[in-house]
Amino acid sequence: MMWRRLPFMLVLLTGAAALLSQTSPQTSKAPAPTWGENPAAAFAEFGRVYRANCAGCHGENLEGGGGPALTPALITSRTDDQLHATIENGHPEAGMPPFKGVISDAQQWQIVNFLRSKVLISAGPPPAPVDPAGLLVRSAKQTIRLDVVAAGLDAPWGLAFLPDGRKLITERPGRLRIVDKGGRLLPDAVTGLPAPWVRQDGGYLDVAVDPDYRRDGWVYLSYSEVLPGYVVTPEEAATPGRGVKRVDPPSMTVLIRGKIDRQNRWTDSQIVFRAPASFYTREGSHYGSRFLFDGKGHLFFSLGERGDMTQAQRLDSPLGKIHRINTDGTVPADNPFVKMPGAIPTIWSYGHRNPQGMMFDPVTGLLWETEHGPIGGDEVNIIEKGHNYGWGVVSMGSQPGIDKREAPGMEPPITYYTPSIAPSGSTFYTGNRYPAWKNNLFVAGLAGQLRRIEVNGRKITAQEIVFQHLGRTRAVYTGPDGFLYVLVHRFVRPDGKTPPQGWLLRLQPER
């Protein structure tokens, strides 16, 4: 494949399933490469660096020449740090000079990322998505069949289970749907809910049911809203497109709770968290968010840094943080920054980019988290009280302005993914339907995969892709019935003719 195939590369870098991944932490004192926001342009620049320094020996397309061919097997058998060390130190005995002092360290890392991306391209385009209904999937330890619980969903984002057997599903365009006890998706959404701001990453996000729902009836919802009191202009309301410049009003993530009555109406609505007006921004990305109850009266929720990485390091900003509150929205007295002047008291951890997965390990009780990296560098972390996870200063991915992969006082990820898998919702499996998967971590990837990870304490010992190429895999949940449920959708342009292609899937074990 030629490096000039940028449209295909853009698809791979922003939406393809990851065929390459690191299965253990890759540590290095070297800075991460600096990529632009445009992955196709970045790949072209990385290709230029490779051709100027490496193609004479290894060939323009890694086919070899004076030096060996850089085959997929050779590249994937080495970690990022091993590839970088080879470039930096060379193999003088084999005729390869060291590149330390010849090209910058950032350019050496650009070559590493170029090699990873070329392997993805050599695998060819992903197959066309298939109908998930009844699909048989054979994984390493379990064979499953995909059972469609609900179809025709429009960008499903979050799922919650009511004690009476009903299920709640958020659709990002601004609907809260109900699957009734008989498994039927009700045609009408819950009424009486606030209208979200829907554009780019914004809309309805997560939904959760209070652990004491039978007693108090609370349902929690996160969504993006326009700054209260702000009047959206016609230019801001116009849908961006050909000839229409995108202009967004100031918006931010807000958390509410309410109750759903017998007529499926939202009642008794309360604000649980709303940021100060100064943090509403015209940026349309990285709203977060995910809910997690700890069973001790606390609710964790995540917020992205809204596209401004400097916010993640500021303790006077709620952005780029994982927060911990009491379920009524008040602040627990033992939060780490409660007594720090100027700090947001709800902050539990900071230095996050866009965390969209949180879950407790049922064996150790450790809080695990998944978050999106910039271009590459998606992270799986163990979250601890008051710790800094580095975004804005360090990253295993590539971001203009970040030139470090580690720094004192900043936690490295347990593992990371380059190229990106775009990790979203995650869960530890705690049921008994799939005994071989007991206590395994499952991570949904928007790049099109469901990943299973075996964990021992603080270490990842093995992982596999359970399925891929079905669509954007948004979230995975352990249901109260012991089955795993997965939200998947495909992007469909709103032409008024094509129905939404989103599914709630149940993983049915096959004997």
Q: Which of 3-7, 87-91, 149-153, 155-159 has the lowest mean pLDDT?
A: 3-7
Record the tokens describing residue 324, joined without a space. 């911990």
Give the residue carrying structure tokens 């809309």. Answer: 203
Given pLDDT bands bounded at 50, 70 and 90, which one contains residue 155?
A: very high
d(CA 249, CA 238): 11
Q: Is the pLDDT of residue 334 over 90?
A: yes
- pLDDT per residue as tens digits for the range 224-254: 999 999 999 999 998 777 677 788 999 999 9
Over 60: is that where the pLDDT of 20 sits?
no
Q: Which two tokens stand for residue 234?
A: 């016609």
Question: Quick check: helix, strand or coil at residue 76?
Answer: helix
What does the chain come to in residues? 511
pLDDT tens-digit profile of 273-326?
999 999 999 999 999 999 999 999 999 999 999 999 999 999 999 999 999 999
Helix (H) or strand (E) segment spanning residue 161: strand 156-161
User: The tokens of 107 are what?
Assistant: 């350019």
Position with higher pLDDT, 44 vs 493:
44
Question: What confidence tier does 65 reach under pLDDT thresholds 50, 70, 90?
Answer: low
85 CB-contact burial (10 Å; exposed 0-12 / middle 13-18 / buried 19+): middle
Q: What is the pLDDT of residue 355?
A: 98
Q: Is the pLDDT of residue 28 over 80?
A: no
CATH number of the domain located at residue range(s) 6-122 in this protein: 1.10.760.10
Q: CA angle 282-284-286, nearest 5°?
A: 120
Pairing of strands 484-490, 167-171: unpaired
Catalytic residue among 58, 84, 286, 489: 286
Over its C-alpha atoms, the chain yields an Rg (Å, rounded) of: 23
Contact in structure between 38 and 14 (CB atoms under 8 Å): no
Nearest-angstrom CA–CA distance, 148 and 112: 41
What is the DSSP secondary-structure string of 210-277?
-TTHHHH--EEEEEEEEPTTPPPPHHHHSPPBTTB------EEEEEEEEEE-TTSBEEEEEEEEE--G
Whole-model pTM: value is 0.83
Residue 87 sits at φ, ψ, to 5 deg, of: -65, -45
Give the residue-averaged pLDDT of 139-143.
95
pLDDT for the residue 239: 79
Q: How many CB atoms are closer than 10 A to CB 411? A: 18
Helix (H, G, I), strand (E, B) or coil at 488: strand
Cα separation, 256 vs 267, in Å, equals: 11
- pLDDT above 90 as % of the chain: 67
Name the one residue in this structure whose structure tokens are 């939060």: 335
d(CA 197, CA 44): 35
Give the integer Cα–Cα distance in Å for 245 and 234: 12
Supply the pLDDT for residue 242. Answer: 65
Residue 314: the pLDDT is 98
pLDDT in tens, 82-136: 988 999 998 777 678 788 888 888 788 778 878 887 877 776 666 777 789 999 9
Where do the CATH 2.120.10.30 domains begin and end in the chain?
136-373+420-509
Contacts of 16 (CB under 8 A, 6+ apart): 120, 126, 419, 447, 448
3-class DSSP string for 264-280: CEEEEEEEEEECCHHHC
Q: Are 122 and 61 in contact, with CB atoms under 8 Å apart?
A: no
Residue 286 known to be catalytic: yes
- In angstroms, the CA 56 to CA 14 distance is 30
Predicted confidence band of residue 47 (pLDDT cuts 50, 70, 90): confident
Q: Give the chain's largest Cα–Cα span.
A: 78
Block residue for tokens 């109406």 = 265
CATH topology of domain 136-373+420-509: Neuraminidase (2.120.10)
309's CB contacts (< 8 A; 6+ apart) are: 320, 353, 391, 392, 399, 401, 402
Query: Are the C-beta atoms of 396 and 405 separated by less than 8 Å?
Result: yes
**Which one-letter DSSP state was computed for residue 436?**
G
